[in-house]
Amino acid sequence: MISSGIFCILLIGASALFYINIKKVRRNILLGKDVEVKGDLKTMLRVAFGQSKMATRPIPFILHLFVYVGFVLINIEVLEMFVDGVFQTHRAFSFLGGFYNFLIGFFEVLAFLVTFGCAVFLIRRNIVHVKRLVMKELNGWAKTDANIILCSEIIMMSALFLMNAADQTLQVRGNEHYTTAGSFPVSQFIAPFLTNMNDGTLIFMERFCWWLHIVGIFGFLNYLPISKHLHILLAFPNTYYSNLKPKGEFSTLASVTDVVAPNFDPAYQPQTDPNNPQRFGVKDVQDLTWKNLLDAYSCTECGRCTSSCPQNITGKKLSPRKIIMDTRDRLEEVGKNIDKNKGVFVDDGKALLGDYVTHEEIWACNTCNACVQECPVNINPLEIILEMRRYLVMEESNSPAELNGMFSNVENNGAPWQFSPSDRANWINEQ
Amino acid sequence: MSTIQVKTMAEFTASGEQPDILFWVGCSGSFDDRAKKITRAIVRILNHVNIKFAILGAEESCTGDPAKRAGNEFLFQMQAMTNITTLNNYNIKKIVTGCPHCFNTLKNEYPALGGNYEVIHHTQLVQQLINEGKLKVEGGEFKGKKIVFHDPCYLGRANDVYEAPREVIQNLDADLAEMKRSRAKGLCCGAGGAQMFKEAEKGSREVNIERAEEALAENPDVIAVACPFCNTMMTDGVKHFNKETQTKVLDVAELVAGANNL
Ligand code: SF4
Ligand code: SF4
């Protein structure tokens, strides 16, 4: 009775807290400018559900698949734990008989694969030092975050094994509460170590691990909003709202068209509201679109983008992952500012461009789309970079001198170099 | 080598004719000495198959691509609308470009500003001509040579055109090799995003050196490219490694024209 009460309080508390946290994430994302994106279910199923873009790197793909499939399916067992928690039953679904035994065994195998995957991931990060997993933008919280996630998963899976080992020992002993159910392909190897324990210790151990797993799940749920692990949820909406246009097509700024077009067509009707002029490009997170901000929250900091970035590979400061992480960090800062100031943002004299992202990073980009291509959850770091360039050029006239030279050549000569337009067809006679 | 035959749109219009396709030469193809050779190779192919094509000549102006990638949307739209006015006045329907950047911009970014054309890249045109049997390509001097193809970002990733240039190269009976990073994983040559026009930021090496090294690791006779900017970058990269006598950097159009002694 008491433990049922505690369980219900925890369940309600954890759900309420999660709801509040996620609402904040949603509010932060909606600080971005509106943009029309047509959702595409097929892309979501293929890229997020089907993990299609992971496959290009086979080792992490397989390991991640273990963790992903394990995580999703083991939640079916968690459902049973919820029922047991509320109604104080034990293995409530065991009436399924043989199928139940199969499921429990299957989950154990999955849990083993999850543990294995997480262990290898820890080794890759902390011992082998895979380059993209130890770059300097990960120093501090990002690194801790990754290790917390991996260790918690291992702890939760271990709790599951220990719980099952104690359970089966009690089942064999004929303890009346522990009805015979389940199959234990993994934990059967732990059970022999428990034979010397008395029933009381075993029951305590079984209960302790049960609670550890449950509390772990509630904890994890509320850890998501402050962690890169949020990608397990946001990968789905983020890929649903994928950009399906050719990657080379960069957005057309309607506010610019409104200024330029009347020179060519006197009858042109403006598309934007002249009474509400918008900043050209992006200086701070509020200038980005909600999709850019959803991108930022969906990033799993895997560094596939950065490890394929030509500028990063050749030692430049630019790292598309850092651009995305900076965007999220700044957005979180803006969100906290809003919370502190009763729902309105009070200027803190800071901005994404300048305080987080430097001009040096922005100007190094090749606009090559390698980062966009690589991202397993269809994040677009390039769009953010381009928008910041737009801000620097069109709002601050602050671009590298050589680019200013190129601009004036294009403007005056119709080519990025200083050639006379009338010489354009000279090549014909230069055989 | 035969002399090339080129008519401008103005000349076509004056004689009351309309070409089948407009050849968009691009700034590099018009002014850069190395790229002009590629332009002439494309024209030789067009002449060889008797396609009725025109150029804009002095009426062509930068598509605005470098301005757009550098963040100057004003300048881009000025350029785009100027060009669209010209193209629409001439009632242009179909365009072939000598440069993936022009290709991408005309194809993807002009429609929003009122310029709707069927745009193809020259490697796509050559592939079509081969497939239709209008152009016969035999190996010639490239038969059995090892050729590695470098994907231009704005043809490959930006527009998912990976096969056309490769199919053309395969028609040369050449040994087509792939770099470790190719197709969707291809590494940029370092020119895109207006980097062509500025010094690189501080780092450990230049992007074109990284890419040229990767291409040279295949010991190719030819590094095939399909973009005048990639051509510049890869040529410089090959020179950096003093490999210019062993390895030539050639555009796919030059391979085809060369193999056919055009
Ligand atoms: S688009 Fe820019 S940031 Fe992305 S990989 Fe290419 S150079 Fe790096
Ligand atoms: S943007 Fe995508 S590829 Fe880059 S770190 Fe984030 S999830 Fe990974």
Domain with CATH 3.40.50.1860 in chain B: 9-126
Tell if the CB–CB gap between A417 and B27 is shorter than 8 Å: yes
Q: Calculate Rg over the CA atoms of chain B.
A: 18
Instruction: Read off the pLDDT band of B1 (50, 70, 90).
Output: low
C-alpha of residue A11 to centroid of ligand 1, in Å: 44
Q: Mean pLDDT across chain A, nearest whole number?
A: 96
Tell if the CB–CB gap between A314 and B203 is shorter than 8 Å: yes
Tell if the CB–CB gap between A431 and B108 is shorter than 8 Å: no
Pocket test residue of A291, A374, A379 for ligand 2, highest count of atoms within 8 A of CB: A379
Q: Does A121 lie at the interface with B, CB-CB under 8 angstroms?
A: no
Ligand 2 atom 8: the closest Cα is on which residue? Answer: A302
Q: What is residue A1's predicted lDDT score, i.e. its pLDDT?
A: 65
Tokens (6 digits) for A277: 């002029």
Q: Does B55 lie at the interface with A, CB-CB under 8 angstroms?
A: yes
Touching B: A residues 269-288, CB under 8 Å: 280-281
Nearest CA in chain B to A249: B108
Tokens (6 digits) for B19: 């070409």
In chain A, which residues have their Cβ closer than 8 Å to the Cβ of B82? 264
Element (H, E) at A391: helix A381-394
C-alpha of residue A282 to centroid of ligand 2, in Å: 20
Residue A32 has pLDDT above 70, yes or no: yes
Instruction: Read off the pLDDT band of B39 (50, 70, 90).
Output: very high
**Beta bridge mates, B23:** B96
In chain A, what are the domain boundaries? 2-227, 279-413
Tell if the CB–CB gap between B30 and A249 is shorter than 8 Å: no
- With a pLDDT cut of 90, the percent of chain A lying above it is 93
Q: Determine the angle formed by the axes of helices B163-170 and B252-259, rounding to 10 degrees.
A: 20
Q: What is the DSSP string of chain B?
A: -PPP---BHHHHHHTT---SEEEE--HHHHH-HHHHHHHHHHHHHHHHTT--EEB-GGG----SHHHHHTT-HHHHHHHHHHHHHHHHHTT--EEEESSHHHHHIIIIISGGGT---EEEEHHHHHHHHHHTTSS----GGGTT-EEEEPPPTTTTTTTT--HHHHHHHHTTT-EEE--SS-GGGPPP-S-TTTGGGSPPPSSSS-HHHHHHHHHHTT--SEEEESSHHHHHHHHHHHHHTT-TTT-EEEEHHHHHHHHTT-
Tokens (6 digits) for B23: 């050849």
Residues with CB under 6 A from ligand 2: A 299-305, 320-321, 324, 374-375, 377, 379, 381
Long-range contacts of B234-237 (CB under 8 A, 24+ apart): B234/B150, B234/B189, B234/B208, B235/B34, B236/B208, B236/B212, B237/B189, B237/B206, B237/B208, B237/B209, B237/B211, B237/B212, B237/B213
Residue A278 has pLDDT above 90, yes or no: no
CB A159 within 8 A of CB A207: no
The predicted model scores a pTM of 0.96
Residue A2 has pLDDT above 90, yes or no: no
Q: What is residue A77's predicted lDDT score, i.e. its pLDDT?
A: 87
Touching A: B residues 150-179, CB under 8 Å: 153-154, 157-160
In what side-by-side order are the strands of the sheet with B248-251? B175-177, B146-149, B222-225, B248-251
Q: Which of A42-51, A175-184, A340-349 has the lowest mean pLDDT?
A: A175-184
Residue B197 has pLDDT above 90, yes or no: yes
Ligand in closest contact with the CA of A234? 2
C-alpha of residue B162 to centroid of ligand 2, in Å: 24
Ligand in closest contact with the CA of A60? 2
Q: Mean pLDDT across chain B, nearest whole number?
A: 96
Interval A70-96 mean pLDDT: 91
**Sign (positive/negative) of CA torsion A58, A61, A62, A63?**
positive
ipTM given for this complex: 0.96
Question: B203 to chain A, minimum CA–CA distance in Å?
Answer: 4
Q: Does B69 lie at the interface with A, CB-CB under 8 angstroms?
A: yes
Residues with CB under 6 A from ligand 1: A 309-311, 318, 320, 365-371, 381-382, 385
Q: Does A423 lie at the interface with B, CB-CB under 8 angstroms?
A: yes
> Whole-angstrom Cα distance, residue A145 to residue A400?
37
Pocket test residue of A249, A318, A384 for ligand 1, highest count of atoms within 8 A of CB: A318
Topology of domain B137-259 in CATH is: Rossmann fold (3.40.50)
In chain B, which residues have their Cβ closer than 8 Å to the Cβ of A428? 4, 6, 43
Q: What is residue A345's predicted lDDT score, i.e. its pLDDT?
A: 97
In chain B, which residues have their Cβ closer than 8 Å to the Cβ of A400? 198-199
Tell if the CB–CB gap between A260 and B77 is shorter than 8 Å: yes
The listed CATH number (3.40.50, 1.10.1060, 3.30.1760, 1.10.287) that belongs to domain A279-413: 1.10.1060
Please give the DSSP secondary-structure letter assigned to residue A18: H
Q: What is residue A319's predicted lDDT score, i.e. its pLDDT?
A: 98
Ligand 1 atom 4: the closest Cα is on which residue? Answer: A371
At the top level of CATH, the class of B9-126 is alpha beta
Residue A297 has pLDDT above 90, yes or no: yes
In chain B, which residues have their Cβ closer than 8 Å to the Cβ of A245? 108
Q: Which of A66-80, A127-141, A413-427, B153-167 has the lowest mean pLDDT?
A: A66-80
- With a pLDDT cut of 70, the percent of chain A lying above it is 100
Interval A399-412 mean pLDDT: 97
**Residue of A106, A113, A105, A112 lying closest to A63 (CA atoms):** A113
Question: A32 to chain B, minimum CA–CA distance in Å?
Answer: 20
> Whole-angstrom Cα distance, residue B45 to residue B49?
6
pLDDT, one tens digit per residue, over B198-256 is 999 999 999 999 999 999 999 999 999 999 999 999 999 999 999 999 999 999 999 99
Touching B: A residues 36-95, CB under 8 Å: 56
Interval A23-38 mean pLDDT: 96
Interval B30-34 mean pLDDT: 97
Touching A: B residues 222-261, CB under 8 Å: none
Instruction: Read off the pLDDT band of B127 (50, 70, 90).
Output: very high
**Residue of A70, A155, A58 lying closest to A114 (CA atoms):** A70
Phi, psi of B160 (to 5 degrees): 55, 30
Instruction: Read off the pLDDT band of A219 (50, 70, 90).
Output: very high
Task: Choose from B3, B201, B208, B262 for mutation: most chain A CBs within 10 A.
Answer: B201
Q: What is residue A53's predicted lDDT score, i.e. its pLDDT?
A: 96
**Residue of A398, A16, A41, A407 lying closest to A241 (CA atoms):** A41
Please give the DSSP secondary-structure letter assigned to residue A274: T
Q: What is residue B2's predicted lDDT score, i.e. its pLDDT?
A: 67
> Whole-angstrom Cα distance, residue A288 to residue A332?
14
Ligand in closest contact with the CA of B158? 1
Pocket test residue of A317, A368, A388 for ligand 1, highest count of atoms within 8 A of CB: A368
Ligand in closest contact with the CA of A372? 1
Pocket test residue of A57, A301, A308, A372 for ligand 2, highest count of atoms within 8 A of CB: A301
Q: Does A397 lie at the interface with B, CB-CB under 8 angstroms?
A: no
Interval A361-374 mean pLDDT: 98
Instruction: Read off the pLDDT band of B120 (50, 70, 90).
Output: very high
Indicate the pairing of strand B118-121 with strand B175-177: unpaired
> Whole-angstrom Cα distance, residue A144 to residue A308?
24
Tell if the CB–CB gap between A394 and B74 is shorter than 8 Å: yes
CB B42 within 8 A of CB B122: yes
In chain B, which residues have their Cβ closer than 8 Å to the Cβ of A414? 27, 60-62, 79
C-alpha of residue A51 to centroid of ligand 2, in Å: 14
- With a pLDDT cut of 70, the percent of chain B lying above it is 99
Q: What is residue A176's predicted lDDT score, i.e. its pLDDT?
A: 86
CB A197 within 8 A of CB A190: no
